[in-house]
Amino acid sequence: MTGDPRTRLVGDGYDAIGDHFVAWRDEIAGDPRRWWAEQLESRLADGDRVLELGCGAGVPDTQLLAVRLRVTGVDISAEQVRRARANVPDAEFIHADFTALELEPASFEAVAAFYSFNHVPRDLLASMFSRIHSWLVPEGLSLVSLGVSDTEGWTGDWLGSTMFFSSFPPETNRRLLLDAGFTLELDEVVTFLEPDGEASFQWILARS
């Protein structure tokens, strides 16, 4: 499906860790995702088209967005897409590597990504933001949570499977979004508690 060994590794990893990931996520304390999902949802009109990149099993964010909006979820893991289809029958799902996805220009009012961009090789982030910009209608919304450490690439054991992580510091994330043509509406680094310790993500809500 994808030629990039780093993203292929992520897909294989999420195929393998299905139930383990659910149990691990249930242990997280202070996850701000709901507040951010509501910031996006409340700015959209009934029936607006939302593309969700790295939707995982579709819970809880895809489910929340699909109540009032037309959601298309994308995930590289066949197992996660299988779960998402069962969990959110009202949304559509594409099994694909979003770093290689081709979509029609101006075909979504919003693009969202919850905790998936810290798996994107950071050398692909600039082109990813440009492509998201092209998929949005003018004044469309983009909500992303991004890693904040200066990590070109980390490959190792995570939840019992091999996983890949990559990220830029917040000032670089911000600059790449501005360079892609976005205007930033909200931009905040939030720290919370994962089962294995503190984790920080930069949340950015931006307009095309």
Ligand X SMILES: C[S@@+](CC[C@H](N)C(=O)[O-])C[C@H]1O[C@@H](n2cnc3c(N)ncnc32)[C@H](O)[C@@H]1O
Q: Based on the number of CB atoms within 10 Å of its own CB, is 68 exposed (0-12), middle (13-18) or buried (19 or more)?
A: middle
Q: Give the nearest residue (CB) to ligand X.
A: 56
Site string for ligand X, 148-187 (x = CB under 6 A): ----------------------------------------
Number of residues in contact with ligand X under rule CB under 6 A: 21
Stretch that binds ligand X, among 42-50, 55-63, 102-110, 179-187 (CB under 6 A): 55-63
Cβ 62 vs Cβ 88: under 8 Å? yes
Nearer to ligand X, 149 or 183 (CB): 149
Shortest distance, CB of residue 162 to ligand X, whole angstroms?
13
Nearer to ligand X, 76 or 177 (CB): 76
Site string for ligand X, 97-126 (x = CB under 6 A): xxx--------------xxx--xx------
Q: Based on the number of CB atoms within 10 Å of its own CB, is 27 exposed (0-12), middle (13-18) or buried (19 or more)?
A: exposed
Applying CB under 6 A, among 37, 50, 51, 55 the residue interacting with ligand X is 55
Stretch that binds ligand X, among 3-11, 129-137, 153-161, 192-200 (CB under 6 A): 3-11
Nearer to ligand X, 118 or 208 (CB): 118
- The footprint of ligand X (CB under 6 A) covers 7, 10-11, 14, 54-56, 61, 74-77, 80, 97-99, 114-116, 119-120
